[in-house]
């Protein structure tokens, strides 16, 4: 079955002549005539009666046209649907992101308010998701990217701050140099037990400091709560502790020293025929993260 033959036949009937159909289809009249002839030969039936003055459908042609008209209508509707989807963001957008990315809430809220025809499914996991296999449109990744065929767009970096409660620092003393950290209790993000090794830099030199874990936890909310309760020093992403540092509920430790920045990227499978919902969401992320919302006010 050749759909082009069916479309040309339907256009000839609708236009009333080969010449008018050729004009509507933007193809030579000879091609239109040939397509209809090939269709008749394939069906083994004459569909059109041709005279010098007009065209008319045969009984077989009339029956065939009733079906052909519905087919062509469905094809046109399918093309309109694709065209509509390509013009404005709409439909289901599936995104995967790491756990503990609470800062995404307001950013996603602003996007959905701007694009009311988009439905967004956000799956948070620290597992590296296969976007193609698991049918995700976009993945957000923290840290250095592994080599892959994915397209990556940088969204900036996340700073991490060493913080502790005022009560803890009053009781245990305030570290004056990175080497002092080894005498302190730490609340360490991750899994396992024992301790961790933190790399810190003051812009001119870097040091690696082993620290003792009083508590190890893989949830930022618990980490934050434990630091606020005075259990020890914590290395927290700035978006998770900034307001408390500004209000002095938590205090920075060694504020001249920083942990390495954590890069954030949006990744997606291909730039070919990138859908409006994917493009608009990645553009929105870049706009909202340049600079990140937590850097709009004064940094502690």
* pLDDT tens for each residue of 154-173: 998 999 999 999 999 999 99
Cis omega (within 30 of 0) for bond into 291:
yes
User: Per residue in 17-52, pLDDT tens?
Assistant: 888 888 888 888 888 889 888 888 888 888 888 776
- The DSSP symbol for 182 reads G
* Domain extents in the chain: 3-86, 91-153+271-295, 160-252
CATH top-level class of 160-252: alpha beta
What average pLDDT does the segment 67-72 reach?
83
CA-to-CA dists, residue 257 to 40, 119, 156, 199, 262, angstroms: 82, 42, 20, 10, 15
Query: Which of 191-200, 209-218, 226-235 is predicted most confidently?
Result: 226-235
**CATH fourth-level superfamily of 91-153+271-295:** Periplasmic binding protein-like II (3.40.190.10)
- Please check whether the two domains, 91-153+271-295 and 160-252, share a CATH topology: yes
CA–CA gap between residue 132 and residue 124 (Å, rounded):
17
What average pLDDT does the segment 113-125 reach?
94
Q: Which residues does residue 187 pair with via DSSP β-bridges, in sequence order? A: 215, 234
Residue 184: band (very low, low, confident or very high) from pLDDT cuts 50, 70, 90: very high
CA–CA gap between residue 106 and residue 92 (Å, rounded):
19
Residue with tokens 């289901």: 92
Q: Is residue 223 within 8 Å of 217, Cβ to Cβ?
A: yes
Q: Is residue 79 within 8 Å of 3, Cβ to Cβ?
A: no
Does the pLDDT value for residue 298 go beyond 70?
no
Flag the least confident range among 4-8, 203-207, 217-221, 295-299: 295-299
Assign 3-state DSSP to the chain and report helix, strand, coil percentages, each to 5.
40, 25, 35
Q: Of 298, 297, 159, 293, give the one whose Cα is nearest residue 237.
A: 159
For the purposes of burial, counting CB atoms within 10 Å of the CB of 59, is it exposed (0-12), middle (13-18) or buried (19 or more)?
exposed
Q: Does domain 3-86 have CATH number 1.10.10.10?
A: yes
Say how many residues make up the chain.
300
Q: Read off the tokens for 252.
A: 């920075």
């Amino acid at each position: 079955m050749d759909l082009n033959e069916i479309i040309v036949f339907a256009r000839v009937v609708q236009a009333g002549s080969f010449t008018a159909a050729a004009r509507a289809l933007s193809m030579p009249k000879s091609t239109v005539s040939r397509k209809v002839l090939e269709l008749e030969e394939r069906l083994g039936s004459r569909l059109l009666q041709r005279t010098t003055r007009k065209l008319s459908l045969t009984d077989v042609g009339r029956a065939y046209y009733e079906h052909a008209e519905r087919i062509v209508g469905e094809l046109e509707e399918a093309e309109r649907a694709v065209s509509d989807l390509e013009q404005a963001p709409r439909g289901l957008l599936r995104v995967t992101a790491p756990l503990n990315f609470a800062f995404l809430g307001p950013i996603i809220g602003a996007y959905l308010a701007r694009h009311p025809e988009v439905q967004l499914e956000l799956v948070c996991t620290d597992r590296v998701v296969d976007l193609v296999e698991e049918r995700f449109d976009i993945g957000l990744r923290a840290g250095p990217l592994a080599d892959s065929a994915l397209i990556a767009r940088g969204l900036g970096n996340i700073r991490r701050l060493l913080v502790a409660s005022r009560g803890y620092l009053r009781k245990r003393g305030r570290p004056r140099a990175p080497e002092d950290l080894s005498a302190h209790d730490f609340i360490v993000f991750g899994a396992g037990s024992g301790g961790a090794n933190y790399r810190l830099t003051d812009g001119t030199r870097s040091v690696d400091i082993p620290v003792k874990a009083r508590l190890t936890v893989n949830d930022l909310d618990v980490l934050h709560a434990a630091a606020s309760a005075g259990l020890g020093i914590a290395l927290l992403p700035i978006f998770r502790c900034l307001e408390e540092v500004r209000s002095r509920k938590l205090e920075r430790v060694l504020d001249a020293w920083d942990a390495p920045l954590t890069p954030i990227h949006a990744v997606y499978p291909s730039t070919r025929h990138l859908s409006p919902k994917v493009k608009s969401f990645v553009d929105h992320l870049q706009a909202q993260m340049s600079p990140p919302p937590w850097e709009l006010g004064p940094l502690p």
